[in-house]
Chain A
């Protein structure tokens, strides 16, 4: 089955840039979606189809995908961005949906 690997944690100072990676075999050939989850809340879609943003999501959130790594970038990080972030793809080989292991973003 397809596996997506994320770093367990990323720490970033306010106003700086956080980059969260999502590694998978030839992930660049897939569409990657990213979700933000704050404690006690349901996940929220922040980037879809590698780099598109849903309405209401700040431009500070951006995504890219190439080769074996997809990346979610959060620019000008704010305290409110502190959350868990998950990448997700569709595994066409078995028609399953796969989430990454999740990354906890801490704002220093």
Chain B
């Protein structure tokens, strides 16, 4: 059974950093492109970032480019999102998802709250 489980969310002050993890089971992340998608409270889905299966290519939404970094550890079957210089508007539930190129499996989400 395919599962994605995010962790690492929490409360962080503006300007701070946080790293989200997404552990996959039931498939190998090394074989799939992977995404991060976020959803601010009461708002819609917003795509954040994608990484290709070999890690050679990444792409980011303009709102996070230069602040967020997507990466993967194939040995740990885990996807990461390093978030730096966090702002109040980054407050959201962050989902990891598998690319097919549609997003066929999603994690349950990790809440990130940026507030002083």
Q: Do A and B come from one complex?
A: yes
**Interface contact B104-A97, CB-CB below 8 Å:** no
Question: Are B95 and A97 closer than 8 Å at their CB atoms?
Answer: no
- Residues B94-110 near A (CB distance < 8 A): 95, 100-104, 106-109
Residues of B in contact with A, size category:
20 to 34
- Cβ of B11 within 8 Å of any chain A Cβ, yes or no, is no
- Known interface pairs A98-B47, A99-B47; A42-B95 also in contact (CB < 8 Å): yes
Residues in chain A near residue B59, CB distance under 8 A: 94-96
| Given A33-B102, A48-B100, residue A97 in contact with residue B47 (CB < 8 A) | yes
Contact B44 A45 (CB under 8 A): no
CA distance A34 to B2 in the complex (A): 20
Majority secondary structure, B binding face: strand
Supposing A35-B45, A97-B47, A99-B45 touch, asked if A45 and B103 sit within 8 A by C-beta, the answer is: yes
List 28 A–B pairs whose Cβ atoms lie within 8 Å, in order of A's numbering.
Answer: A1-B62, A31-B101, A31-B102, A33-B102, A42-B95, A42-B106, A42-B107, A42-B109, A43-B37, A43-B95, A43-B103, A43-B106, A45-B102, A45-B103, A45-B104, A48-B100, A84-B44, A86-B45, A88-B45, A88-B102, A90-B101, A94-B59, A96-B47, A97-B50, A99-B45, A99-B46, A99-B47, A102-B44
